[in-house]
Amino acid sequence: MKRLFALAVLALVAAGPSVADAQSGRPVLGFGEDRGRGAQAPLSQVLRNLAARYPGRHLNTTTGDYGGRPAYFVQWQMENGRVVVFVVDAESGQVIGRQGG
């Protein structure tokens, strides 16, 4: 049941703020150099930083936009078993939001 809840939270976070493609009107969930953004922080570095601050384990990561910024949505299981979704700015690597836990 906890796993189902965690997946539902992740889906809601990922479906949050997004940018629509001006030509097609479809949401744009990916990001990168083609959107005029800067370089993104390596996911391995983001995961190391999270592990240093929040003991637990990495479950899943998706990418998308959060408030117009490229972001990683990192699903993390804390030591106590609770699942948290960290929203991490993909350019700076800084945690900018947190859901659950």
Q: Which domains does the chain have, with CATH numbers?
A: 2-100 (3.10.450.40)
pTM over 0.85, yes/no? no
Convert the pLDDT of each residue in 31-67 to its tens digit.
444 445 578 999 999 999 999 999 999 999 999 999 9
Tell me the H-state helices in the chain.
Answer: 2-14, 43-53
Distances 60 to 10, 23, 47, 73 between C-alpha atoms, Å: 9, 31, 11, 8
Per residue in 9-47, is it b (16+ CB within 10 Å) or e — as a string?
Answer: bbeebbebeeeeeeeeeeeeeebeeeeeeeebbebeebb
